[in-house]
Amino acid sequence: MIRLGTRRSALATAQATDVADRLRALGHDVELVPIVTTGDTNRAPLEQIGGTGVFVSALRDALLAGEIDIAVHSLKDLPTTPEAGLTLGAIPQREDPRDVLVARDGLSLGELQTGALVGTGSPRRVAQLEALGLGLELTGIRGNVDTRIAMVTDGKLDAVVLARAGLARLGRLSEVTETLDPIQVLPAPGQGALGIECRDDDDVVLKALAPLEDPAVRAAVTAERQMLATLEAGCTAPVGALAEVVEGEDGPELWLRGALGQDGGVRRLSANGPVDDPRALGRRLANELLEQT
Ligand SMILES: NCc1[nH]cc(CCC(=O)O)c1CC(=O)O
């Protein structure tokens, strides 16, 4: 029996159920174990209560205590610092990593008027949206995906910006009024990807997880997360990153785009590197972003 720990939110439950179903299809017995985290019980702004890492620590404690065997994380909420005794046993196929706009009356970003009220609590989204120069009025919001969409439906906001992956997993893609091009808004490092964490000496679970692994996604998110780590930025920092495996002249290579919000503007760069050394690429792009003046 594999005990899979999950937060109770609709999104976390959808992600956990998806992983559980895939393990069951491979012949494993899986039990879902609900875990409550500080991020779920405390409504204060994330920056005040320790960033999105607050969603993670209770799950990690349960893993280390042997109460659960695997934890399914949204990779963009997982701190880049490794946790002793734990490892990412599998990084499965990724959902569409892009951000989306959910606006009233089917509007797109370019159709929103100056002064339109757009909800997002993410410094990354704020920095990149402001850099577009559309004169949008950005306002911090928190709450689950349903709550955020309701702010538009109720007329409190003209629009909200969300991760497309979350809407896809909740079956709410019909709410999307525009998918934002990464040329304008780069997603958070790891967005749309799941990280399945387990104890690093749990050979039975590691073997069970192996078939869920997508090596190209692991390479991409490793580069994105290394860029974030080198920038010494937390999950609430104004950092966007998106890597993809592309076909280069000598075979597949990794292409990484990065954005760093700074001094009211956004620095953007991209670089290519070998697929087998994603960390070097992430580190290089981070350093180039820091040197750019
Ligand atoms: N920070 C909350 C969070 N964590 C993961 C997702 C969406 C799913 C994903 O990116 O994997 C979301 C919601 C959002 O940003 O809209």
Q: What string of DSSP letters covers 53-118?
A: GGGTHHHHHHHHTTS-SEEEEEGGGS-SS--TTEEEEE--PPPP--EEEEEGGG--GGGSPTT-EE
Determine if ligand 1 sits within 6 Å of the CB of residue 191: yes
Tokens 């909200």 appear where? 160
pLDDT digits (tens, 9 = 90+) for 154-168: 999 999 999 999 999
Tokens of 209: 């997880």
Do residues 223 and 246 lie in contact, with contact meaning Cβ atoms separated by under 8 Å?
A: no
Q: Which atom of ligand 1 is least distant from the CA of 191?
A: 10
77 lines ligand 1 (CB under 6 A): yes
* 180-193 average pLDDT score: 97
For β-strands 2-6 and 30-34, DSSP reports them as: parallel
Q: How confident is the model at residue 232 (pLDDT cuts 50, 70, 90)?
A: confident
Strand, coil or helix: 10 = helix
Query: Which of the residue ranges 132-141, 203-212, 232-241, 250-259 would you say has the lowest mean pLDDT?
Result: 232-241
ipTM of the complex: 0.93
pTM for the structure as a whole: 0.93
Q: Which of 183, 187, 135 is nearest to 161 (CA)?
A: 187
The one-letter code for the residue type at 90 is A
Residue 217 has pLDDT above 70, yes or no: yes
Q: Answer yes or no: are the C-beta atoms of 112 and 133 closer than 8 Å.
A: no
**Residues recognised as catalytic:** 77
Q: Which residue has its alpha carbon closest to ligand 1 atom 7? A: 166
Model pLDDT for residues 61-103, shown as the tens digit of each residue? 999 999 999 999 999 989 999 899 999 999 999 999 999 999 9
Answer whether residue 213 shows pLDDT above 60. yes
Q: Which protein residue has the closest C-alpha to ligand 1 atom 2?
A: 77
pLDDT, average across residues 242-262: 95
Enumerate domains of the chain plus CATH numbers: 2-91+193-213 (3.40.190.10), 99-179 (3.40.190.10), 221-291 (3.30.160.40)
